[in-house]
A and B are shown apart, each in its own frame.
Chain A
Amino acid sequence: MAFKKKEKRRLGLTIAVLAFLVTSASLSVVDSALGEEKGKAVDLAARVLGVSMATKHEHTAEHAALAREIGQEVVCLCGTCPKRTISDCECGWAKQHQNSLVNAVVAGNSKEKIIQIYRQVYGDQVLAMLPNEGFAITAWALPYAVAMVAFVVILLLGVRFAAKPSTVTALTEQAEDSNLPPVTDDDEAREQLERELEDLD
């Protein structure tokens, strides 16, 4: 049976629409079953990686260690925990991704590739550590800048205070007024001086 060109186009369009609907429906079923709120397919990363999330495939200790290492660089997005890393979180969402990570490692994916796919699917919010790129560089640079400014301010304050008249005279006068001993380097006198100053409170 030969289809005309126009009919072929209609058939193709129908199949495409049906495929879209079936995919959307299945995704929404999976989403609602797993309580995903944000409308993303929870196993999208696993799909892109071409692995299952249900159970872990047979794996070695090295595979598990690498999967755990990767899991510590991506966070759980279940929405109920304080964004713990996938390796550390115990919720259902994290458990499935722990399986997915082991299976992805067993399938021969590198750490960089797996993390890249997670970033593509979930965005930068999935990263446990801020990326050192784009606007996020601000978060890395600013603390250093503030620490530098603080250091300079302390230095300047030190210099400024040091430049002011010494307080030895004033304090010695105060000490004389209070019948306190003059400042010496002697430990006992230091203790006594401080304690008696304390008693003045």
Chain B
Amino acid sequence: MPKLGYVLLLLTTLICVYTAAAAVVGHHKGSNRLVESAKQGVYAVFGLLTCASLILIYLFVVGDYSVKYVQHYSDRSMPLFYKATAMWGGQDGSLLFWVWVMSIWAAIAVYQNRGDRNRAIMPYTIVTMMWVTLFFMSLLITVTNPFETYMGAAPTDGRGLNPLLQNAYMVTHPPSLYLGYIGWTIPFCFAIGALAHGKLDYTWIDSMRRWCLVAWVCLSVGLTLGGLWAYEELGWGGYWAWDPVENAAFMPWLTGTAFIHSIQVQERRGIFKIWNLLLIVITFILTLLGTMMTRSGIVESVHAFAQSDIGDFFLSFLFVTLAISVALIFYRWKVLEAKQGLESVVSREFAFLINNWVLLFAAFMVTFATLFPSLFKAVTSKEINVGPAFYNLWMIPVGLLLLCLTGIGPLLSWRKSTARTVFNQFVTPASVGILTFGAAILLSIHVYGSATFITPSYLPSGEGYAAITLGLCGFVTATIVQEFWRGTKIRAKRSNEALFAAFITLTSRAKRRYGGYIVHFGVMLMFVGFAGEAFKEEKQQIMAQGQKVKINNYDIQFDRLVFEDDGQKNAVTAHLSLFRTGTNEKLGTLTPAKWFYRKPEEQVTTEVDKYISIAGDVYLVLGAYDAKANTASLQLKFNPLVNFVWLGCAFLMFGFSVAVWPNKTSKVEKYAPKRQWMRLSAGWASFLLSILALVLAVT
């Protein structure tokens, strides 16, 4: 079976080469048959990689420890659930997973553009897709072969998967992150296809707009799930630590966000063509850089893959791809140059331009700070740490500026806003923002007991930043509500509809616009969650049986320690009762634990438990314990507003499903009912998923 897997990889490589060649020759000779053959080649690559991936999953499930990769990342005692997902637990399998997802996206893109749709740019788009696929295939068949077997006698059992990866999020987090990461490859391929052909109007962006939204939402959800995983599994009470692996996914998210805003300007005004191409190239390069960073040992991280020699391959591929892309942009410069300009700086397009620069600056900062320790070591041969303090110093103001722009952008008109329009549009949201800021100051003083808003160096303190954040959240919410309200009011007046009916019609007729506002609302909710960080409470306590400790408005009583063994691990669980302070009302039992895995190498994991409410989480971590004395050392934390981060992500998904919901009156429905059915299914699926996420976030 492993041999068959490897043969499939070799076959895929050959078909990649054929597909790229057929696309180029077919395009130049005007042979429709060859171009169609290239399209079939994309499907074949998808089919072969699907088979290869299923074989690897099968090898994990049956526990074929003659395969090195299977032996390294699984063992007999692992539940089937984790065996099946261990495919992306290590470097080799995750690269196969990368290229498999790439082939799925490529096949969908080619299917969408079958027939005459985008006929001109498809050949070079296919060539670019195969170029990327070929790079990963060359890695898989040479240095990171997941089907490599032991030469001698195979071990009878595996080393086991890292216990931190034996978590339900292992099923959802890596796939969603990869779908987002690789999702950006498709718009990049279309951009290069358009550049190579010279058809550089809005067509390629129009075809890719939904792809970009899908990639963006998958990456956003992947990042949030990663945060949730860290929060629930690592036991340090936070969800973001500016770790290089987190940053690797965040960098393309920033430039991708800039891109999906910037293409709206090209759509409306026909400007920013070069800028958009540069943004999509940078986004793709950052996805490659991120993939390289986590695999080559170039950066130090607690959850990077093992160090390997693939860094040089990645670096070479990255530079060649960047050079070709930039050369193509220069080659088409004359065609791409804007024929018209900005009419006013008080316009939505200028706000988008500022938004783009701020996002690009943020991406630069994150990339630079992530790579700086390596640069420092190369220059001085010494080690240095660029920790959260440095990132926060820069990224908190940058984040607040972006939040502010989220509120400003929708209030400005395209082309030009006059002073009267600006005043009319801003007066309500700005007033709400100022009032919310005042309320946040009062909340900080009276509820959380914090009254220091400025540091001795005249910068805002944590509480100061939190108050500014909440004030801006008020401003953004008021902007969104105002946009919905004005639109609904006008609609109701013009069409003589009831307000609710007008609201529904308005949203359904301009789904992109109002879906986008819902996404903005989700982002705003996430910022509310970030602001809560400033008010968190923390205690460390050695607790005896029956002892009570107060944190925030809760009393926590230690009941007992329980010892269990399920064959795979020993578990020590502390049982604690949670009461509302000053009452005997028991809210529940919390069970933080320590799990001692037998494999690999007797690792220990910390299993936190928490009591969730909209005001915040009571978060318990079991430290040391004394079985004889029945005492336990516990970290007790109260994380205010943290659930707004997950709630925000649910709204983000909901807004996305509204934005991509197919139009009833579109030509697609008229001429291709099957495609319309597929899009409707996708819309419903994302809508139901967002509802599920919403329910999970609030329960």
Contacts and interface: CB of A to CB of B under 8 A. Distances in A.
B342 A129 contact: no
Interface stretch (B115-123, B288-296, B384-392): B384-392
Interface stretch (B509-517, B553-561, B566-574): B509-517
Contacts of A198: 509-510, 512-513
A168 interface: yes
Interface in B203-232: none
A130 to B, nearest CB: 5
Interface stretch (A10-18, A47-55, A102-110, A183-191): A183-191
Given A90-B621, A124-B382, A187-B421, A129 B343 contact: no
Given A82-B243, A90-B236, A123 B341 contact: no
Contact of B420 (A146, A160, A161, A185): A185
Interface stretch (A1-9, A23-31, A134-142): A134-142
B457 interface: no
Contacts of A191: 486-487, 490
Contacts of A89: 236
Interface string B469-507: 000000000000000001100100010000000000010
B372 A83 contact: no
A201 B339 CA distance: 22
Given A146-B364, A187-B424, A199-B509, A128 B338 contact: no
A119 to B, nearest CB: 11
A84 B635 CA distance: 16
A124 to B, nearest CB: 5
B365 A130 contact: no
Interface stretch (B253-261, B316-324, B353-361, B676-684): B353-361
B514 to A, nearest CB: 9
A46 B345 CA distance: 59
A90 B361 CA distance: 34
Given A124-B382, A128-B389, A166-B343, A185 B376 contact: no
A185 B418 contact: yes
Contacts of A127: 384-385
B190 to A, nearest CB: 18
Nearest to A139: B372
Size class of the B contact interface (CB-based, 8 Å): 35 or more
B390 A129 contact: yes
Contacts of A188: 490
A72 to B, nearest CB: 8
Q: In this complex, which of B380, B385, B424 has the most chain A Cβ atoms within 10 angstroms of its Cβ? A: B385
Nearest to B339: A164
A86 B494 CA distance: 63
Contacts of B364: 143, 146
A166 B372 contact: no
Contacts of B487: 191, 195
Q: In this complex, which of A130, A162, A165 has the most chain B Cβ atoms within 10 angstroms of its Cβ? A: A130
Q: In this complex, which of B301, B513, B621 has the most chain A Cβ atoms within 10 angstroms of its Cβ? A: B513
A164 B341 contact: yes
A136 B385 CA distance: 10
A60 interface: no
A158 interface: yes
Contact of B421 (A124, A168, A185): A185
Contact of B341 (A129, A167, A185, A190): A167
Contacts of A192: 490, 494
A36 B47 CA distance: 48
Nearest to A171: B415
A190 B385 contact: no
Contacts of B243: 82
Given A162-B342, A198-B512, A75 B361 contact: no
Nearest to B364: A146
A146 B236 contact: no
Contacts of A65: none
A165 B341 CA distance: 7
B269 A128 contact: no
Interface of A: 75, 79-85, 88-90, 123-130, 134-136, 138-139, 142-143, 146-147, 150, 153-154, 157-158, 160-168, 170-171, 183, 185, 187-188, 190-192, 194-195, 197-199, 201
Given A81-B236, A124-B384, 19 more contacts: A80-B302, A84-B241, A123-B382, A124-B385, A125-B385, A130-B384, A130-B386, A130-B390, A134-B380, A135-B380, A139-B369, A139-B386, A143-B365, A158-B350, A160-B341, A167-B340, A183-B416, A191-B487, A198-B509
Interface of B: 234-236, 241-243, 268-269, 271, 301-302, 338-343, 345, 350, 353-354, 357, 360-361, 364-365, 368-369, 372, 376, 379-380, 382-390, 394, 413-416, 418, 420-421, 424-425, 486-487, 490, 494, 506, 509-510, 512-513, 540, 621, 623, 635
The 7 closest A-B pairs by CB, nearest first: A164-B341, A161-B341, A161-B342, A82-B241, A125-B383, A167-B340, A198-B510
28 contacts: A80-B302, A81-B234, A82-B243, A82-B301, A84-B236, A84-B241, A90-B235, A90-B236, A125-B382, A125-B384, A125-B385, A128-B389, A129-B389, A130-B386, A134-B380, A135-B380, A139-B376, A142-B368, A150-B361, A166-B341, A167-B343, A168-B343, A192-B494, A194-B414, A195-B506, A195-B513, A199-B509, A201-B512
